[in-house]
């Protein structure tokens, strides 16, 4: 049986990712999920990220980003480009 998604899994997964940058592009008008749930999960991820000292001493908000464009499921090009640039900045 396939595993189903739950907010608790997001918490656990964010703990695994704390040494890495993570960006969530979550459009406000996404039909596949409620933005309120995204914000709740992101708040938990911020808590988890703040518990770990990063390897390169970057603060949690420099390694964790939530973008909520006023858009439907398909992300506008500017938001997609901004996410790529943010992640690229973490790799430099």
pLDDT in tens, 25-73: 888 998 888 889 889 888 888 887 777 755 555 655 677 888 898 988 8
pTM score, whole prediction? 0.66
In the chain, where the domains are located: 24-91
Q: Where are the alpha helices (DSSP H) in 1-92?
A: 7-17, 35-50, 60-63, 77-91
Q: What pLDDT is stored for residue 54 in this prediction?
A: 55
- Burial class, 32, CB count within 10 angstroms (exposed 0-12 / middle 13-18 / buried 19+): exposed
Q: What pLDDT is stored for residue 65 in this prediction?
A: 86
């Amino acid at each position: 049986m396939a595993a189903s998604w739950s907010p608790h899994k997001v918490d656990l997964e964010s703990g695994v990712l704390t040494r890495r940058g993570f960006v969530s592009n979550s459009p406000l008008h996404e039909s596949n999920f409620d933005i309120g749930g995204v914000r709740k999960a992101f708040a938990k991820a911020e808590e988890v990220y703040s518990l770990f000292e990063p390897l390169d001493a970057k603060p949690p908000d420099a390694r964790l980003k939530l973008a909520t464009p006023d858009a439907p499921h398909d992300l506008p090009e500017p938001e997609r480009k901004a996410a790529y640039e943010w992640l690229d900045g973490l790799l430099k």
